[in-house]
Amino acid sequence: MRYVADMMRTCLIIAGVVFLTAFLGIVALAISFLGSSERTVHKIARIWGKGILFISGIRVRVKGMSFVDPDQSYIFMANHQSNFDIPVLLAHLKVQFRWLAKAELFKIPVFGKAMRKAGYISIDRSDRKRAFLSLKEAAETIQNGTSVLIFPEGTRSADGRLRSFKKGGFVLATEAGVPVVPVILYGTRSIMPRECLIIRPGDVTLRILPPVDTKDFHRKTKDALLEKIRKIMETAFHSGFRGDMACSN
């Protein structure tokens, strides 16, 4: 009986998300064609994130926002457990940032085009040359004063625990020379695990950790930076890990 109720609620949520995505995607595109800046389009994306959380019955608690200077550029690195990580970060990471996201997301009708208009950066991991160009574009974004957000695991975790990290983000960090801010998300997997489509309301914690200086690292020592950030995130993650449930009937 609970499963049927969950499925009915999920269908209503998905319908609401599709409508909100299409509507705000069109608004973002219209505004961008009128000459508005990427910053304005990103603000619309924040409204999109807040709307999805409201429709889905998700409450978010934020810790550590005081570590972030809104006038400083950073590379934010967050763990990735669920599709709901994206709206949570958009709604509650209250700084201007651009996603470094997998190319497949940019192929979604309306949504993908709006992402491009917001200045978000596509990375195609199947093409090494294009991936390198994406990192170069991200470095230019950072040098122009805007932060970038990356999921260093590359994809959602199947069991809720941290996966191994991709190296691209750490090449970017050593090239840009800006601090890395580790970000930990708890609770999103309980809302929508990777292995199923059921969406359940719940509580999420967004924890922002102190920035890590990258000035002493360079491309040849990027692996050392990777290990340092992973250790920080793993320690923080396990201190709050509650064993988020998987999909069940």
Predicted pLDDT at 241: 57
Q: Are strands 58-63 and 202-208 parallel, antiparallel or unpaired?
A: parallel
Q: How many CB atoms lie within 10 A of CB 229?
A: 23
pLDDT band at 249 (very low <50, low <70, confident <90, very high): very low
Residue 35 confidence class, pLDDT cut points 50, 70, 90 = low
pLDDT digits (tens, 9 = 90+) for 174-199: 988 899 999 999 999 989 887 777 89
248/6: higher pLDDT: 6
Residues 6+ apart with CB under 8 A from 184: 78, 79, 205, 206, 207, 209, 233, 236, 237, 240
Separation of alpha carbons 65 and 43, rounded Å: 18
Stronger pLDDT, 5 or 73, i.e. the higher one:
73
Q: What is the per-residue pLDDT for 245?
A: 47
- Report the pLDDT value the prediction gives residue 247, as an integer from 0 to 100: 55
Q: Is the pLDDT of residue 25 over 90?
A: no
State the pLDDT at residue 184: 96
Is residue 242 very low, low, confident or very high in pLDDT (cuts 50, 70, 90)? low
pTM of the model: 0.87
Q: Compute the average pLDDT of residues 101-130.
A: 76
Please report, rounded to a whole number, the percentage of residues in the chain having pLDDT higher than 70: 95
Contacts of 238 (CB under 8 A, 6+ apart): none
- Architecture of the domain delimited by 2-240: 3-Layer(aba) Sandwich (3.40)
Q: Per residue in 127-178, pLDDT tens?
A: 777 777 878 888 888 888 889 999 999 888 877 788 899 888 898 899 888 9
Q: Give me the chain's average pLDDT, please.
A: 86
